[in-house]
Amino acid sequence: MFNSFLNNFLHILETSFPLNCRSTKEKKNAWITQGIRISCKQKINLYTLTVNSNDPKAKAHYIMYCRILKKGN
């Protein structure tokens, strides 16, 4: 009895709300330019360099780069 109900319910559910497959290769953020992507990669590289070393100059350079990137100029 329950299996019959479940089969009917699932059949109605699947016909009412069919699955729509989307491509995962869609550009989610088309407004992000190539220059912004390159700058973000550079920021990540500077971050890893800063974390792995105790150099205060590297940390200061990373902080300045973040400020420039955030400012957008």
**Is there a domain that residue 48 lies in?**
yes
Residue pLDDT, tens place only, 11-43 = 998 888 887 777 666 567 778 889 989 999 999
Structurally, how many domains does the chain consist of?
1
Residue 50 in this model has a pLDDT that exceeds 90: yes
**Is there a domain that residue 63 lies in?**
yes
Residues sharing a CB contact under 8 Å with residue 49, sequence separation 6 or more, in sequence order: 58, 62
Q: Which domain holds residue 56?
A: 31-73
Give Cα separations from 44 to 28, 34, 67 (angstroms): 20, 15, 14
C-alpha R_g of the chain: 25
Predicted pLDDT at 66: 93
Residue pLDDT, tens place only, 54-63 = 889 999 999 9
Predicted pLDDT at 26: 58
Predicted pLDDT at 17: 86
**Is there a domain that residue 4 lies in?**
no
